Structure 1
Amino acid sequence: MAVARRHPLLRLRYQLAGGLLLAIGLPLLARMVLDPRVVYSINHQVTITAAVVAHILGYMIYRRLDSFPGVANFSTILPAFALGYGLVFIAIFFFRLDYSRFQAAGSFLVSILWYFSLSAVSNRLEPNRLAMVPVGDVDRLEVVDNVVWHTLHTPGMIPERVQGVVADLRADLSESWLRFITNCVLSGMPVYHVKQVLESLTGRVEIEHLSENTLGSLNPNQAYIKIKQAIDWLAALAVLVVVSPLLLIIAVLIRMETPGPALFRQERVGYRGAVFTVYKFRTMRQGSDSALAARDRAITRESDPRITRLGRFLRRTRLDELPQLINILRGEMSWIGPRPEAVVLSRWYESELAFYPYRHIVRPGITGWAQVNQGHVADVDEVHEKLHYDFYYIKNFSPWLDLVIVMRTIHIMLTGYGAK
């Protein structure tokens, strides 16, 4: 069974080799036009070495971030290479090494242009194409967007330019289909389980197919939990010092607009099921919900009349979340994680949704994977879907996914997506 050859521009080694050649070569040639001897200078040699390391680091970050669903190729290029070059040249600055600013800046700009061009070309050369074995629970794959699905009616040759074969490996496959799948693997054609593909394309772990035995596979990296807590604490302290004047101004404006305290306090369920007090800027009129039941008071509806004019702005820009820096410093929350719910809502969801308490295995966050994909929700059906995103975050708990969430959170703060 022959495997279709990929276009050279789609192969990782050619992308990286071309990027290094252009990013290092073009600025160096431009500089040599003015002074051919510049290549022999120590500062230029230091800069070239640093640029090679930065380019490779940026490319590794770019490829890692690009593996998460819902992240467009071009949206990760600038942050990835800015991080790669930033880390390397901060190190150079720290050790006080002399370097060429022209070579460093030129290498960074050429890198960005090269991978932006590759991203545009690759989307045209090779859209996502997957072949599907029509046995078992594969029908739900067809609702996934941005993929061209080819249904294999009989075991045999697969369509050209297909990047992999998807099958329900837990289904009762016939002997002919099993031989076909084996031949695919032996020929170098990737074979994916339907559950694996759904998770990687949608960013969700479907809890309907979980069992007590599979929960163990969702255990987050314990070492990263500790590292992340330390990073959270240091970042929260630094941000709190910087934005403290802004916090004071917002608090004064809230008190001027409507009577009542500037801060809103609410009991919520957090890490390992512990109840803690969350702090936010008050965005609703004090006492406007006194006639509502406890559960209804905890739910914010679309265009909720209790929200003040300033409160609506704070919610849209997510500035109302800033006092939760206190919760991070107290070790109750993280910058990134599942949203902590009010106690009354959490108890309701636990009674309605299987495995709901499992989301408390990591610290709740100011932002998170569910928030950037779905926005704010409260009804049980919507929370059920939200739980799929929470479980995906827990299963893929890593600094890479956190970086993706940070990038998408910045976009949401600028657009106001999901605010109520």
Structure 2
Amino acid sequence: MIRKSQSILTQIYALCDFCVIQIVFFMAWWIKFNSGIMPAASPLPKEQYYLWTLVYSIIVISLGFLLSFYSPKRKKRFSFEILKIIQVHLISLLILLSLLFINKELDISRQFLAVLLSMTIITTSIYRYIVKMTLRNLRTKGYNKQFVLILGAGSLGRKFYDKVQQQPDLGVEIIGFLDDFHTKHDSVNREYKPILGMIDNLENILESVIVDEVIIALPLAAHDKYGKIINVCEKAGIRTMIIPDFYDILPARPYFDHFAGIPLINVRDIPLDDMGNRLAKRAFDIVFSLFALIVTSPVLAVVAVAIKLTSPGPVIFKQERVGLNRRMFSMYKFRSMRQASLKTADTGWTTENDVRKTKIGAFIRKTSLDELPQFFNVLFGHMSVVGPRPERPFFVDQFKEEIPKYMVKHHIRPGITGWAQSNGLRGDTSIEERISLDIFYIENWTFLFDIKIIWLTIYKGFVNKNAY
């Protein structure tokens, strides 16, 4: 049964974390005091270091249980787990440092503690990733199943069923539906699991069939039944989840707030609304842009000279784009068109054999070299390294009327590259698909997500067949 196996897995995780710290202690000791890489003098014996490492281990395990570090994570992305690992170990180190100060243990090497912390985080992340991938493979093969009962065989219940079937690595098995309208839903429910009975049969079903979780997928008209359903599930010790009938207008990760003692659903929770996240992203943007401009400076110089020698006009083309909070800014690009053609560039798409392009312009557009000056936009605060691509005002006015949620992309700074672009959606590709991926990025931003997008952009190359 999933609940029993999860309890065992939780204990195994805690034991493995403890063992990892003990192994890393000997590695950190060797690096600091035996390898010759760092100054090796230490006024304290090895036993004293190991004693405090044991204290650190106990703090980590205790804090892990307190912060739900060992709770089930089959529905969470691995980036969430890495953030938890970093959080637990950083807080644990601060607690350890406080204990060292209280006990006047001031001679322990700070370099040793830094090595211990960094290696523990890395080692724990690696083994957790291996375990997560192994469990996913086992679930895909039918092991470690979680049995789910859906209340409601209408369109909402069937949509949830379809989503679950598309992700076999979650290890979720739908055992069937309960619904009060057999006649209405049986005709369209033939490709799904059977309707086992009516909502009032829930208590009997839970007693006769193995169920780990109940999903309530009923319409708003059935709201009066929710209280009884939840009471029956809690009496049986079974978790209950509710899919709101209006889920399609909610963000991918809804955020619950409180006002006057009443819970509220925040329709658009954006991680970058948090000041700490914004500062971290901005600091990264500045450092990365400076590094990129320094590394690509020879390329910038060559492209600038080539543009100047092959066609009259300025090297840099400035184009008005819509950015953060719908504010206008001038986006910089290397000029790739003839100067006389720039007047129509704000309201027209560039085509594959566009006669307006210069010879060098066709090359730099295809290889994305024309985008390099946008690192100056990042330094000036107009853009970010990663974010939704900014569009021209003419097309923004057009798309906001045609494409639902198009304007959501302006809640954050636009980027040089983005989740849509790293998935191949550049140039002549679906605007709807781009917006869908942009919104996913906005609602699920993490620092590691930015690193992933940058890596994918570099790994897949800058040459794009859709870039005209």
Do the structures match in fold with TM over 0.5? Answer: yes
Which of 7, 14, 17 is 2:5 aligned to? 7
Q: Do residues 274 (structure 1) and 327 (structure 2) align?
A: yes
Q: Do residues 131 (structure 1) and 149 (structure 2) align?
A: yes
- Given that 2:425 and 2:434 are in contact with CA atoms closer than 8 Å, whether structure 1 keeps it comes out as no
- After TM superposition, give the deviation of residue 373 of structure 1 in Å: 5.5
Helix, strand or coil at the partner of 2:390: coil
- After TM superposition, give the deviation of residue 127 of structure 1 in Å: 5.5
- Given that 1:353 and 1:384 are in contact with CA atoms closer than 8 Å, whether structure 2 keeps it comes out as yes
Q: Which residue of structure 2 lines up, in the alignment, with residue 410 of structure 1?
A: 455
State the AA in 2 paired with 1:357. M
Q: Which residue of structure 1 lines up, in the alignment, with residue 348 of structure 2?
A: 296
- Given that 2:29 and 2:112 are in contact with CA atoms closer than 8 Å, whether structure 1 keeps it comes out as no
Q: Which residue of structure 1 lines up, in the alignment, with residue 100 of structure 2?
A: none
Distance 1:230 1:244, change over 3 A: same
Map residues 35-46 of structure 1 onto 2, 5 A cutoff.
39-42=46-49, 44-45=50-51
State the AA in 2 paired with 1:387. I
- Given that 1:4 and 1:162 are in contact with CA atoms closer than 8 Å, whether structure 2 keeps it comes out as no
Distance 1:274 1:18, change over 3 A: same
Provide the rounded CA distance (Å) in 2 between the counterparts of 1:366 and 1:235. Answer: 14
- After TM superposition, give the deviation of residue 278 of structure 1 in Å: 1.3
The structure whose RCO (Cα within 8 Å, separation 6+) is larger is 1
Q: Do residues 97 (structure 1) and 110 (structure 2) align?
A: yes
Which of 136, 157, 172 is 2:221 aligned to? 172
State the AA in 1 paired with 2:431. V
- Given that 2:2 and 2:144 are in contact with CA atoms closer than 8 Å, whether structure 1 keeps it comes out as no
* Greater mean alpha carbon deviation, residues 77-86 or residues 103-112: 77-86
State the AA in 1 paired with 2:150. M
Kindly provide the CA deviation profile for residues 15-65 of structure 1, in whole angstroms up to 9, marking residues without a partner as x.
5412322202334578999x9x965234x455666677789999989999x
How many residue pairs match? The answer is 387
Provide the rounded CA distance (Å) in 1 between the counterparts of 2:410 and 2:219. Answer: 30
Distance 1:149 1:41, change over 3 A: closer
Provide the rounded CA distance (Å) in 1 between the counterparts of 2:112 and 2:162. Answer: 52
Map residues 389-404 of structure 1 onto 2, 5 A cutoff.
389-394=437-442, 396=443, 401-404=446-449
Helix, strand or coil at the partner of 1:376: coil
Distance 1:215 1:132, change over 3 A: closer
Distance 1:45 1:341, change over 3 A: farther
Distance 1:242 1:139, change over 3 A: same
Provide the rounded CA distance (Å) in 1 between the counterparts of 2:409 and 2:284. Answer: 24
Q: Do residues 115 (structure 1) and 132 (structure 2) align?
A: no
Q: Do residues 357 (structure 1) and 407 (structure 2) align?
A: yes
Which of 138, 163, 167 is 1:146 aligned to? 167
Provide the rounded CA distance (Å) in 2 between the counterparts of 1:390 and 1:141. Answer: 23
- Given that 2:419 and 2:453 are in contact with CA atoms closer than 8 Å, whether structure 1 keeps it comes out as no
Which residues of structure 2 form unaligned runs of 5+? 35-43, 98-107, 178-194, 255-263
Provide the rounded CA distance (Å) in 2 between the counterparts of 1:135 and 1:48. Answer: 55
Q: Which residue of structure 2 lines up, in the alignment, with residue 312 of structure 1?
A: 366
Distance 1:105 1:365, change over 3 A: closer
Taking only the aligned residue pairs, the percentage that are identical comes to 16
Provide the rounded CA distance (Å) in 1 between the counterparts of 2:155 and 2:375. Answer: 48
- After TM superposition, give the deviation of residue 403 of structure 1 in Å: 2.8
- After TM superposition, give the deviation of residue 357 of structure 1 in Å: 2.7
Q: Do residues 333 (structure 1) and 403 (structure 2) align?
A: no
Which residues of structure 1 form unaligned runs of 5+? 206-213
Provide the rounded CA distance (Å) in 2 between the counterparts of 1:176 and 1:79. Answer: 39
- After TM superposition, give the deviation of residue 406 of structure 1 in Å: 2.5
Provide the rounded CA distance (Å) in 1 between the counterparts of 2:252 and 2:29. Answer: 48
Q: Which residue of structure 2 lines up, in the alignment, with residue 192 of structure 1?
A: 242
- After TM superposition, give the deviation of residue 251 of structure 1 in Å: 1.6
Distance 1:41 1:63, change over 3 A: closer
Kindly provide the CA deviation profile for residues 78-131 of structure 1, in whole angstroms up to 9, marking residues without a partner as x.
898689879999999xx9625278866764564245323421332214367643
Provide the rounded CA distance (Å) in 2 between the counterparts of 1:77 and 1:172. Answer: 38
Provide the rounded CA distance (Å) in 2 between the counterparts of 1:265 and 1:128. Answer: 55
How large is the Cα RMSD of the aligned pairs?
Answer: 5.2
- Given that 1:229 and 1:331 are in contact with CA atoms closer than 8 Å, whether structure 2 keeps it comes out as no
